[in-house]
A and B are shown apart, each in its own frame.
Chain A
Amino acid sequence: MPNLAIQLTDINKNFGNVCANKNVSLTVKSGTIHGIVGENGAGKSTLMSVLYGFYQADSGSIAVLEKQTVIRSAHDAIQAGIGMVHQHFMLVDTFTVLENVVLGTESGISLKESLRASELELKRLEKEYHLEVDINATINTLPVGLQQRVEILKALYRGAEILILDEPTGVLTPQEADHLFRILDELREQGKTVILITHKLREIMAITDYVSVMRQGEMVAHRKTSETNREELAELMVGRKVLLRVDKAPANPGRTVLSVDNLDYKDNSGIHRLKDVSFEVHSGEIVGVAGVSGNGQSELLDIITGINPLQNGTIKINDQEITPESRVDAASMRRLGMAHVPEDRQRMGLVTSFTASENIILGYHKDPAYNGLIEMDSDAITKSCREQMEHFDVRPGNPLLRVSLFSGGNQQKMVVAREMERNTDLLVVGQPTRGVDIGAIEFIHRQIIAMRDANKAVLLVSVELDEILSLSDRILVMFDGQIMGEVLAKDANERDIGLLMAGIRKEAA
């Protein structure tokens, strides 16, 4: 086995005028776990796409296992011994594990033959790397953690010596993540090389041997993990000192602003998404909803904010009662004093092909302040947009620019600005910092806490446990559409919440 798994030398990649990778060099030693960290847009994904053959570098060279290699497609990459586990799994939901693994490598005329041959090989791999999965199970019956395992098996089956994992823990509970790390450990023991792309510094510290930091398309540092710490890495990523912990005064909860009673919801295909959910949010407190993505949090948000219809149960906002008969929509919920930062800004919170000033009125376009008798008052809108951009430090501060041209962090700041500037009694926030760079995370967190300190009620839904822990005053944990438990933030620890997120109550465990 050669000593070096990957050598990237002076990789350059431009998209138009945007320089995504600039003279990037990276050396990964065989048999190690090598982390690559960086903010969104730092160029990690581009670099890995170059390595995996999705993009061609404009210049620079790639050596795999100490052999100069030209990688023009994913097929070339696989040939060279590189496997990739994507953030969003590339599996056919209705196929079995075996069929998914074999997919694309079938040989001969009869599928049955090639499946039988593969079955043995797959079983051997499962044993060798302790990656047990029922090979005849259909993918959609497997939990996310096991689906990820199938992805890893798929790569190994194709003879991968080097595995690239792109944000692998985004969809996992802390326990599942730990399990993944044990698998990665095992792979390292067996001599495989792992490249781990992540923005979670905790994971870097926990599992990697080496870490490389990218910032604005450049490789800014290589470190031995044992010789660095989270603070240094965060500073390298952002290029300045960062406060990882959020400072906040103790909460001072007041009257009940939002109360949810016995909320029950079935989606269009009849799946029971919310089961008897009840809770309250008071003024002057932040209530966090933790949980693995897809356990009913999105549905909860959509119903509370009037996007999906209320089927069963009642919601009270500022003592105004809403029942299934009330037929509310998002506009009427806003009138009751709710502001909503949606989970997915691109899909829901913004119309990215519109200008910034057109987006600043989304949901408030009927506001008399923005309207004349017939036409809208574009001066007033632009002025208001300019003010919000100034208050929330949106850059560039140009109201006439299309939103798609802003970075993720600035887009999110625009959404947060629009909803917070209304100064409503209740702020409902979903994934406030998803895909947002560290600088903007810090800023948005401070704004959310400022809302609370101004005696507003905040309901925060996030799949980032760190975020929930550092912002919330009270934490609700959701699993399978139910609230599994409530924890006061000051007594909370990651392990207990992780168990609740996995659906295990304390008394049962």
Chain B
Amino acid sequence: MNERQVNDLVVTLVTVTNLLLAFLISGVVIWALGEDPWFALETMLYGAFGYDEGLGYTLYYTTNFIFTALGFAIGFHCGLFNIGAEGQAYIGGLAVGLLCLWLENWSLWIVFPLAVIASIIFGGIWGAIPGYLKARHGSHEVVTTIMFNFIASVIMVYLLSHVLRPPQEMSPESRDFAENVWIPQMHEIFGWFGFEITQTPLNGTFFFALICLFLVWRFVWFTRWGYELRTVGTNESAAVYAGINVSKNIIIAMIICGGLSGFVGINEIMGSSHRIMLNFQAGIGFTGIAVSLIGRNHPLGILLAALLFGILYQGGAELSFEVQAIDRHMVVLIQGLVVLFAGALENLFRPQIEQFVKQVAIRTA
């Protein structure tokens, strides 16, 4: 094995070990509550994969997490800790929604690209302002992006309750868009090819998320812009030495972060709810951070981690539904343990695993 393979193997083993540990402890808790952990696991996996509706929901959640996790990962490669995916998704979603309300009679083929651009611009601006403040004035992005989450939230509450709410309605939501700007649901897409599946919120945006994963991968590791971004994130002095404009890269990274997070709005608003709602992004931005960190900020890792969290969300909902002693707080506990072990305590067993892999490598060499 060469150095890179050893490294990949170590990373994989470390992640798998940590996840197993998180599940082990979850199992102990479930056992302590007097329930059968195996049955709980079975229920959860069945809920997430066992039938097409469950799978649909799992992938629907996965789509959201891919966007916010990519939004975090780009920033991370540029040395930024973007906690603002939540607000960026919210504002990006607003832009998508407004566009759909405005152009609802246009063809989806025109509205979709415009929606992508709109969410890049709006989400991008929401990321760019903290980026600018960081680059020019040194304000820490963790503080400013959190503040921008709140600002986004307040703006949305105002808009939804005062401006966008149809007069006769009670709930703070906009009216529904016309059907021709809805992104096709997955059951419709399957229907075109003659397959019948159950209707879920899963829609065509899932494929767009996969494309984004691929594009981010190529961008970060194969273009000169990605190179500049990573240099700034890894060694700022070296970036200055190389003549790379650090401020510009920080701002650009934050714009991309905001744009990617904003795509949550496409999945949620254009693809599922078909109207602008309050808190449609709730928690997705923050979960994206965990997804990205567990996926080691690499698109492939993010895909797997987003899938894992999709399973936890959907399977967990099923679990609290099926097993009496387990309510939705239990699901939060399991998610928390995953974040704790795979994120915060990620290097707990790393030395032992490294040692083990090296010995195996020497023996097989």
Q: Contact: B234 with A353, CB < 8 Å?
A: yes
B238-266 interface bits toward A, Cβ cutoff 8 Å, 1 = contact, 0 = none? 10111111000000000000000000000
| Cα–Cα, bound, A48→B231 (Å) | 36
* Complex interface: chain B residues within 8 A of A489 (CB): none
* Complex interface: chain B residues within 8 A of A244 (CB): none
Spell out B's residues near A (CB within 8 Å).
3-4, 218, 222-224, 227-228, 230-231, 234-235, 237-238, 240-245, 358, 362
Q: Contact: A365 with B240, CB < 8 Å?
A: no
A403-415 interface bits toward B, Cβ cutoff 8 Å, 1 = contact, 0 = none? 0010000000000
B243 touches which of A334, A353, A370 (Cβ 8 Å): A334
Given known contacts A330-B242, A402-B3, A376 and B218 CB-to-CB distance under 8 angstroms: no
Give 10 closest A-B pairs by Cβ, nearest first. Answer: A331-B243, A330-B243, A363-B242, A375-B222, A348-B241, A348-B237, A351-B235, A362-B242, A365-B224, A351-B238
**Please, which residue of chain B has its CB at the minimum distance from the CB of A16?**
B358
A340-B241, A347-B235, A401-B3 known; 11 other A-B pairs, CB under 8 Å? A331-B243, A331-B244, A348-B235, A348-B238, A348-B241, A350-B238, A351-B235, A362-B238, A363-B242, A371-B224, A376-B227
* Complex interface: chain B residues within 8 A of A347 (CB): 235, 237-238
A318-347 interface bits toward B, Cβ cutoff 8 Å, 1 = contact, 0 = none? 000000000001111110000010100001
Interface size class of A (residues with CB under 8 A): 35 or more
Q: Contact: A376 with B224, CB < 8 Å?
A: yes
* Complex interface: chain A residues within 8 A of B244 (CB): 331
Q: Contact: A349 with B243, CB < 8 Å?
A: no
- Residue from the set B223, B224, B234, B244 with the largest chain A CB neighbour count within 10 Å: B224
Q: Does A116 contact B (CB under 8 A)?
A: no
* Complex interface: chain B residues within 8 A of A375 (CB): 218, 222-223
Given known contacts A17-B358, A376-B222, A376-B224, A307 and B240 CB-to-CB distance under 8 angstroms: yes
List A366-416 residues whose CB lies under 8 Å from chain B.
366, 370-371, 374-376, 378, 400-402, 405
Q: Contact: A354 with B234, CB < 8 Å?
A: yes
Q: In the complex, how many angstroms separate the beta carbon of B136 from the nearest chain A beta carbon?
A: 15
**Please, which residue of chain A has its CB at the minimum distance from the CB of B354?**
A16
* Complex interface: chain B residues within 8 A of A16 (CB): 358
* Complex interface: chain A residues within 8 A of B240 (CB): 307, 329-330, 348
A351 touches which of B4, B224, B234 (Cβ 8 Å): B234
Given known contacts A329-B245, A342-B241, A347-B238, A362 and B222 CB-to-CB distance under 8 angstroms: no
| Cα–Cα, bound, A378→B223 (Å) | 10
**Please, which residue of chain B has its CB at the minimum distance from the CB of A400?**
B4
| Cα–Cα, bound, A392→B245 (Å) | 30
* Complex interface: chain B residues within 8 A of A363 (CB): 241-243
* Complex interface: chain B residues within 8 A of A370 (CB): 224
| Cα–Cα, bound, A91→B323 (Å) | 62
| Cα–Cα, bound, A362→B238 (Å) | 8
* Complex interface: chain A residues within 8 A of B362 (CB): 17
Q: Does A115 contact B (CB under 8 A)?
A: no
Q: Contact: A365 with B3, CB < 8 Å?
A: no
* Complex interface: chain A residues within 8 A of B241 (CB): 305, 307, 330, 340, 342, 348-349, 362-363
Q: In the complex, how many angstroms separate the beta carbon of A120 from the nearest chain B beta carbon?
A: 47
**Please, which residue of chain B has its CB at the minimum distance from the CB of A371?**
B224
Q: In the complex, how many angstroms separate the beta carbon of B108 from the nearest chain A beta carbon?
A: 27
| Cα–Cα, bound, A352→B237 (Å) | 12
* Complex interface: chain A residues within 8 A of B218 (CB): 375
Q: Contact: B238 with A365, CB < 8 Å?
A: no
**Please, which residue of chain B has its CB at the minimum distance from the CB of A363?**
B242
Q: Contact: A331 with B3, CB < 8 Å?
A: no
Q: In the complex, how many angstroms separate the beta carbon of A424 from the nearest chain B beta carbon?
A: 14
* Complex interface: chain B residues within 8 A of A353 (CB): 234
Q: In the complex, how many angstroms separate the beta carbon of A55 from the nearest chain B beta carbon?
A: 16
**Please, which residue of chain B has its CB at the minimum distance from the CB of A353?**
B234
| Cα–Cα, bound, A227→B231 (Å) | 52
Q: Contact: A332 with B4, CB < 8 Å?
A: no
B224 touches which of A17, A331, A366 (Cβ 8 Å): A366
| Cα–Cα, bound, A16→B241 (Å) | 34
A378 touches which of B222, B231, B235 (Cβ 8 Å): B222
Q: Contact: B242 with A331, CB < 8 Å?
A: yes
List A285-322 residues whose CB lies under 8 Å from chain B.
305-307
List A186-209 residues whose CB lies under 8 Å from chain B.
none
* Complex interface: chain A residues within 8 A of B242 (CB): 330-331, 362-363, 365
- Between A and B, 27 residue pairs with Cβ closer than 8 Å are A17-B358, A305-B241, A307-B241, A329-B240, A330-B240, A330-B243, A331-B243, A334-B243, A342-B241, A347-B235, A348-B237, A350-B235, A351-B231, A351-B234, A352-B235, A353-B234, A354-B230, A354-B234, A358-B227, A361-B227, A363-B243, A365-B224, A371-B224, A375-B218, A375-B222, A376-B227, A378-B222
